[in-house]
Amino acid sequence: MDPFKPHLAEVADYPYAKVDAAIKLDQNESPEDFPAELKARVLTRLAALHWNRYPELHADDVRADLARHEGWPEAGVVLSPGSNLLIMALSQAATSVLDTSPAFPYYKGSAVAAGTPYRAVPLAPGFGLPLAALRSAMDGPPGVLFLPNPHAPTGALFAAGDLARLAEKARATGWLLVIDEAYHAFAGTDARPLARDNPSVAILRTFSKSWCLGGIRTGYLLAAPRVAAVVKALLPPFCIPAHTGVVIRAALEAPGYVAPLVERIRGERKRLLAGLADHPRWTAYPSVANFILVRTPDAKAAYDALLARGLLVRRQDHYAGLTGCIRVSVGTRAENDAFLAAAAEAP
């Protein structure tokens, strides 16, 4: 006898193991912290908050600020503690989940946990969008298609015209195309025009990367009101804590720190790609995100060699088609120098 639903026999925890290292380049975080003056502003406001009171049901005060910032109707904005929770809610709501292989693992993880039928279409050669295969999969009964753009974990960017075709296919078939823009700031791309007049397209964004707020756990959905209503109904009530709301509102009040950080990351990404271009054993793939996927002869050997020099990266060789691959987040200039020096000597 088991108290749990039979499909949970297959469920596994998110594939992440904490490892301590001097230089942490394994989670695509911002290498720079949230600005000190904004932290100070937040701390003052936290002291004035009534900690005994529940926050608003759906962080409505934060939502209004965010809707203004994004130029999106408030009824289509949903906040949650990390965009992962929005992915979970969408997977729970979906009759089926479709993604690409490889892709950010939680699309599959959340579908399996929710007991929602899941399938994946392999990426096209060169990590391209498998447009024809996705379109033909969408001829079946409608479900939810998760597509990260820039793509994770490859760092590739899909062509705007291909995404537009996919969006039109979703409109015609009743699928929901969820474009996960966790890394869009580093690419300078924006899926809002695709979603604005098409209720079959929704966008996921997060404060975890370019906003320097990975520890605060806030992501959001920009969608049609009907999609937002379904997701809100599946989220736990009052799930954005009051202190989180204070941090996010402070960020939205003074968002000017984001663009210079993004510029620094882009410059460092260029430097890392140039530094890896002549590597005798490794191939670095082009990236428009804040991380780079690198193919090595042996991912474990490369990972171990980097860790021995105090550098933590992420192995990606468990994904289909990514044999030998590791992924490195773009760090500070000093961190990237240390990475390039260690990489030059790594197997």
Ligand X SMILES: Cc1ncc(COP(=O)(O)O)c(C=O)c1O
Q: Which residues bind ligand X (CB under 6 A)?
A: 28, 82-84, 104, 148, 152, 180, 182, 206, 208, 219
Q: Which of 182, 346 has the CB closer to ligand X?
A: 182
DSSP state of 124: B
Least distance CB 41 / ligand X (angstroms): 23
Q: What is the dihedral of CA 30, 36, 42, 43, to 10 degrees?
A: 120
Beta strands 311-312; 219-222: pairing state: unpaired
Tokens at residue 38, please?
A: 């904004």
Q: Which of 84, 200 has the CB closer to ligand X?
A: 84
Residue among 337, 325, 333 at smallest CA distance from 297: 325
DSSP letters, 289-322, are SSEEEEE-S-HHHHHHHHHHTTEE-EE-TTSTT-
What is the number of other CB atoms lying within 10 angstroms of the CB of residue 3?
5
Least distance CB 28 / ligand X (angstroms): 5
Least distance CB 281 / ligand X (angstroms): 27
Residue among 53, 120, 59, 32 at smallest CA distance from 252: 59
Least distance CB 204 / ligand X (angstroms): 7
Cα angle vertex 330, ends 329, 333, to 5°?
140
Q: Which of 279, 285 has the CB closer to ligand X?
A: 285
Least distance CB 180 / ligand X (angstroms): 5
Least distance CB 284 / ligand X (angstroms): 19
DSSP letters, 31-70, are SSPSPHHHHHHHHHHHHHS-TTS---TT-HHHHHHHHHHH
DSSP letters, 74-98, are GGGEEEESSHHHHHHHHHHH-S-EE
Least distance CB 14 / ligand X (angstroms): 10
Q: Which of 104, 175 has the CB closer to ligand X?
A: 104
Q: Which of 18, 53 has the CB closer to ligand X?
A: 18
- Side chain identity, residue 222: L
Q: Which of 82, 115 has the CB closer to ligand X?
A: 82
Q: Are 187 and 223 in contact (CB under 8 A)?
A: no
Tokens 């999106």 sit on residue: 72
Q: Which of 134, 152 has the CB closer to ligand X?
A: 152
* Contacts by 252-257, CB closer than 8 A, 24 or more apart: 252/62, 252/65, 252/66, 252/69, 253/65, 254/35, 254/38, 255/69, 255/211, 257/35, 257/38, 257/212
Tokens 């911002």 sit on residue: 30
Least distance CB 230 / ligand X (angstroms): 19
Q: Which of 84, 296 has the CB closer to ligand X?
A: 84
Give the nearest residue (CB) to ligand X: 82
Q: Which of 328, 346 has the CB closer to ligand X?
A: 328
Least distance CB 153 / ligand X (angstroms): 8
